[in-house]
Amino acid sequence: MSTNQQKPEAPKKKSKGFIIVLAILILGGGTFGLTTYIHGQHHEETDDAQIDANISPVIPRVAGYVKEVRVKDNQYVKKGDTLIILDDRDLAIRVQQAEAALSTAQSNLGAAEATTNASRANIASTEAGVSTIDAQIATAKVNLWRATQDYQRYANLIKDHSITQQQFEQAEAAKQTAENQLNVLEQQKNQVSKQTSAVASQSNATSSQISVAGSVIKQKEVDVADAKLDLSYAVITAQESGLISKVNVQEGQFLQSGQSLFNIVLSNDVWVVANFKETQFGKIQVGQKVIVHVDAYPGHDFEGKVTSFSPATGSRFALLPPDNSSGNFVKVVSRLPVKIEFDKSSDSLVNQLRPGMNVAADVHLD
Count of other CB atoms within 10 angstroms of residue 313: 18
Considering the chain, what percentage of its residues have pLDDT values greater than 90? 43
| pLDDT for residue 341 | 93
- What dotted CATH number matches 45-87+244-364? 2.40.30.170
CA distance 263 to 274: 24
Closest C-alpha among 69, 68, 71 to residue 87: 68
Q: Is the pLDDT of residue 257 over 90?
A: yes
Q: Which residues contact 12 (CB under 8 A, 6 or more apart)?
A: none
pTM of the model: 0.64
> For 143-182, what is each residue's pLDDT tens digit?
778 878 877 777 777 777 777 777 777 777 877 887 787 7
| pLDDT for residue 2 | 46
Closest C-alpha among 322, 331, 336, 317 to residue 277: 336
- Domain positions in the chain are 45-87+244-364, 91-229
CA distance 13 to 25: 21
Q: At what angle do helices 165-232 and 89-159 cross, to 10 degrees?
A: 170
Most confident option among 35-44, 84-93, 346-355: 84-93
Kindly report the CATH class assigned to 91-229. Answer: mainly alpha
Most confident option among 33-37, 118-122, 140-144, 308-312: 308-312
What number is the average pLDDT over the span 198-214? 68
Q: Which residues contact 23 (CB under 8 A, 6 or more apart)?
A: none
Q: Which residues contact 217 (CB under 8 A, 6 or more apart)?
A: 102, 105, 106, 109
CA distance 161 to 298: 149
